[in-house]
Amino acid sequence: MEKTYYYRLGEQQIGPVSLDQMRGAVSLDTYVWAEGMPSWVQINQLPELMLQLGLSTDQPQSQSQQQYAQPSYQQPQSNTYGEITNKPNNGTIPPKPNNYLVLSIISLLLSCLFGIVALVFSLLSDSDYKKGDYKGAEDKAKVAKIVAIIGIVLGGLCWVFNILSFVLAIGAGALQSY
């Protein structure tokens, strides 16, 4: 299997791409990352990659690449099961947001409709984080929390109403027997 890379053009991350797809699209000062690399690195710091791409240090830097700093994120590392590991990462990957899955399940038990919606957003939050969409993961986690809390409050109120109705019905039945 051919090694794939990610590279940055401005603020846009492109990849995964093969070496052939990178040729002509990158310059010496383009930041790249591939699985197994600890962080994003400029191509000019990777002599082997420069050779494979046919780049030399005699080439001028592209104007569009000179104005951008090193990107702050790298692709998340995963364990053998494909799950994102939540180990210390020296600030390269933001921590996984709380997806409020437990809260969503409690909401599901109390209020089916709100619980299902909260559960879906909890799972979408995890999915976005695994894809590297950290902002999307945080946004979906916030929606899951809000919907789950609404479901718990409304579901709890319904249960209280049902229990009070049952107690009053029993009390009314007991009074009628006298």
pLDDT of 112 higher than 90: no
Helix ranges (DSSP H) in 58-133: 63-66, 101-110, 112-131
Owner of token pair 């699209």: 25
Q: What percentage of residues in the chain have a pLDDT greater than 90?
A: 29
Q: Mean pLDDT, to the nearest integer, of 74-103?
A: 63
Spell out the domain ranges in the chain.
Answer: 5-66, 101-176
Mean pLDDT (the chain) is 80
Query: Residue 149: what pLDDT?
Result: 95
Amino acid present at 123: L
Q: How many CB atoms lie within 10 A of CB 130?
A: 15
What is the pLDDT confidence band of residue 1, given thresholds at 50, 70 and 90?
A: low
What is the pLDDT confidence band of residue 27, given thresholds at 50, 70 and 90?
A: confident
H or E element that contains 6: strand 5-9
